[in-house]
Structure 1
Amino acid sequence: MSVPVLLGFLGYLVRNASAVAFRCGGTLVTSTDNARRVVRDLAASITALDDVEQHAQKFVLAWIDSGAPLFRVRKPDGPPTHLCSYAVIFDRRRRSVLLADHVKANAWLPPGGHVDDQEDPRHTVLREAHEELGIEAEFDPVCGGEPLFLTVTQTRGDHSHTDVSFWFALAGDQDMALRRDPAEARELRWWPIDDAALWEPADQFDPGMMRFLDKLRAHGGVSEPVS
């Protein structure tokens, strides 16, 4: 193959990377298949905290394997079940997590959002941390680049739908400079994970928040649960 022809072919691959399919072991593999495999590997990597998370994990793996669409492609709720990622900023030294008083949800939530079409959920949390907080985040050693927690949640309010959410722990510090996005959050606040009284009432947080804290504390070497 001549150099001009080779360069032309490489240019075609670059321009059409998301649409190019290739043969692997006799099976047609597409970009969609690759994204699904990444998501499945992340879901399967999680060691369930309890029966609730174990049930959620089984549901998510079956959902992925069913071939159903995984990513939100139409606002606000299409398809009705889709992926999200939470970026829980964890100050390991002060044992605190950063939450936002979310404008739309009217609840204290970790930064995060919907996983874009074909996006790796690990990229989602880093992107959301930059967009919502103005930081270039790194994964906390508590779980590295793997999700620590998995939830399946029916959202509140209008256009209710099901969020399948990966929860990641990102390294943080209460002294770090943050840039709040007023369209997303009314306030940013650090919450000590070992002070159970501060986490009442629980309904001001994501329904999975207390269980996430139990898991974070366990991974951080603290034996007593928050709840």
Structure 2
Amino acid sequence: MRSSVAAVHELVTGLLPGDQLEAEHRSAARRWLESTDDVYRRAKPAEPPQHLVSYVVPVDPTDGALLLVDHLKAGLWLPPGGHVDPDEHPAATARRELHEELGVAVGPATTFRPAFLTVTPTVRAMAGHTDVSLWFPVIVDPDVPLVPNHGEFREARWWSLEQLRSADPTRFDPHLRRFLDKVAMRVIRGQVVSLRMISSARSEMSR
């Protein structure tokens, strides 16, 4: 296994599944990574037909709202993100996509760690391949200026947790509700706990 793929395998192995479906996706992703080094998209639109993606999910630390983009090709509201370049670490992809798609730069001290994994056949105009996606939550100030990439999506906006849970789920990534259930902002005894704290707690539990 080449070193860049081994690094992805380590990330996937370190995830603590939030439900049975994520456990199945993690097992499938590990088997795939162990079977081939051809895991990065080499050519558009979909070569190889299964490849790595990094989602970066901006989170408002005050109330847990998520910043999503209205993706032109997918026809869905999705987290920003994109294909992992050959031999690129998925965390570097998340950092890069946050800047390229929204104009948001975060400091070098910000740690990007995946909190969720999905294996999803693409939909609508993007049909024909399977994305193995690592979801990276990152704390972002909701007042930070955005420079959306209008070549890829119509708009970018913050969605409150209430809006996300009451909206038609077919408007979003099919696994977004599960992401909310696993790692969205939690309220414990009236105290809002950030994704960063939850991720850290889960890391401790998995040791």
What TM-score do the two structures reach when normalised by structure 1? 0.77
Counterpart of 1:51 in structure 2 is 20
* Per-residue deviation, 1:157: 2.7
CA distance in 2, matches of 1:152, 1:130: 25
Identity level (%): 40
Counterpart for residue 40 of structure 1: 9
* 8 Å contact kept, 1:137–1:170: no
- Deviation at residue 138 of structure 1 after TM alignment: 5.5
Residues 105-184 of structure 1 aligned to structure 2 (within 5 Å): 105-137=74-106, 144-158=111-125, 159-184=127-152
| Aligned-pair CA distance for 1:145 | 2.7
Alignment partner, residue 186 of structure 1: 154
Q: What secondary structure, in the 3-state scheme, does the structure 2 residue paired with 1:124 have?
A: helix
1:146 Cα deviation from its structure 2 partner: 1.8
CA 1:84 to 1:140, structure 2 compared with 1: closer, same or farther past 3 Å?
Answer: farther
Tell me, yes or no, if structure 1 residue 101 matches structure 2 residue 70: yes
CA contact under 8 A between 2:94 and 2:112: conserved in structure 1?
no
Inter-partner Cα distance in structure 1 for 2:42 and 2:66: 30
Give distance in 1, aligned partners of 2:69 and 2:164.
19
Shift, 1:215, TM fit: 1.1
Unaligned runs of 5+ in 2: 189-207
Alignment CA distance shift 1:199-1:138 (3 Å): farther
Alpha-carbon separation, structure 2, partners of 1:152 and 1:122: 18
* Structure 2 contact 13–30 (Cα < 8 Å) conserved: yes
**Maintained 8 Å contact 1:138/1:171:** no
Equivalent residues of 2:55, 2:81 under 8 A apart: yes
**Which SS does the other structure have where 1:76 is aligned?**
coil
Partner in structure 1 of residue 181 of structure 2: 214
AA paired with 2:187? V
Larger radius of gyration: 1
Q: CA RMSD in A?
A: 1.9
Distance 1:211 1:197, change over 3 A: closer
| Runs of 5+ consecutive residues of structure 1 not aligned to the other structure | 1-31
